[in-house]
Structure 1
């Protein structure tokens, strides 16, 4: 049996014998050999180019010479000379302040005749001085000289007022929050027992909640009562009154000491 060439025109004519040759398949089969040959040439050229292109690029580029750069270590550099210059500062002596003198004004004695001396001006005995209620001051006046000395009797007592203590700002959160005696349940019972529903608010059908904030001081008292959320002027006033009447609390603590702390309580007004 002879070898069959599938790309030959004879094989194409044999296949399409007595068939419609105007159909596209006949044209494609007829050009199959040329397409295969063209594809083979293209693949071969691409392979040769891929293998030879890197070598051609290396041949075309000039050779680069490596340059050696000498690096000098900092430890090999010579240390700069440091000149020791003694800076002399001239300090002028400060003259000491003059010494303070402790003096009392001296009143020179006046010589009088016996008949001119009254009984009150006579010198008294030790017994008379002991029995008298007059107190003799031994205080001293410091800082006066001989000429401007002052008599102790002329000096007035100076009362110095102690500086006002700066109040500590209240905390919002602390390690141990203030507590009402008996807990939150007792607090709500106290508010419900002492709260008086305003008559005007009842007649107008007003009901709701008033949010009140106050400060529990370091001693446990209630201060700085404020309405944070208002409901009605009459209800707000009643809520403030009840909170101000609260007894002492257990104060809050921060770092082991009592501190003032803000506390918020809702007070509800509800019609039965």
Structure 2
């Protein structure tokens, strides 16, 4: 009995497993109802194609050529311009011109220096006295002494209206310090008697020789 029980138990287990396998292989589906969605209508107008946007370069500036406008020639004015003449004014009225103002130019008074005059200038007491004064007041230059220089220095000067000797210069010299010595002695000279022209004192230019001689 134990053998048959084990056998029947095994068969029952096998059958139960077979039933489970069959149930899993062929599931039962309930009848399902499908919803009919129908056909969807699309309106072509509602579908708008959106173009791809591209950034366009700015257009070139427009250059407007200048317009030359012809200006018509000025029209001649044919109308005569009328000038109203006051009643008080007639043809016999004389218009007096303003007197011209003469410009008075100030002339620079340049005193003339005479070379020759009616009454020549001179040293008081005569020229001999003048040369004696020169001999006493002039020192013989040491350089001229060492070199043995002798001769005459011609000095030019102007005797002014008051007798003063001005513009003293050497016109021909001998050098070795003699020229400078002649100028210096004349600068220290006393006033001369001025020259006169038509009775009035004038400036006179003179040239005198001054001798240098070793004694």
TM-score between both structures, scaled by the size of structure 2: 0.50
Q: Does 1:93 align with 2:36?
A: no
SS at match of 1:259: strand
SS at match of 1:213: strand
| Cα distance between partner residues in 2 of 1:203 and 1:224 | 30
For 1:190, which of 133, 147, 150 is the aligned residue?
Answer: 133
Contact 2:121/2:194 (CA < 8 Å) preserved in 1?
Answer: yes
Q: List per-residue Cα deviations over 1:45-65 (Å, max 9, x = no partner).
A: xxxxxxxxxxxxxxxxxxxxx
Between Structure 1 and Structure 2, which shows a larger proportion of helix residues?
1
SS at match of 1:219: coil
The number of residues matched between the two structures is 118
CA shift in 2, pair 1:206/1:252, >3 Å: same
| Cα distance between partner residues in 2 of 1:254 and 1:229 | 29
Deviation of 1:94 after TM superposition, in Å, equals: 3.9
TM-score between both structures, scaled by the size of structure 1: 0.40
Q: Does 1:205 align with 2:148?
A: yes
For 1:240, which of 180, 183, 186 is the aligned residue?
Answer: 183
Task: Indicate the structure whose relative CO is greater, using CA pairs within 8 Å and at least 6 residues apart.
Answer: 2
Contact 2:141/2:176 (CA < 8 Å) preserved in 1?
Answer: no
Instruction: Structure 2 unaligned segments of length 5 or more: list them.
Output: 1-91, 100-105
| Cα distance between partner residues in 2 of 1:174 and 1:221 | 17
| Cα distance between partner residues in 2 of 1:187 and 1:268 | 13
Contact 2:153/2:178 (CA < 8 Å) preserved in 1?
Answer: yes
Residue 150 of structure 1: aligned partner: none
Q: List per-residue Cα deviations over 1:187-229 (Å, max 9, x = no partner).
A: 0111100111111111111111101111001111100112111
Deviation of 1:164 after TM superposition, in Å, equals: 9.5
Q: RMSD in angstroms over aligned alpha carbons?
A: 2.4
SS at match of 1:258: strand
CA shift in 2, pair 1:202/1:259, >3 Å: same
Point out the structure with max Rg over C-alpha: 2
CA shift in 2, pair 1:216/1:164, >3 Å: farther
| Cα distance between partner residues in 1 of 2:127 and 2:152 | 17
SS at match of 2:208: strand
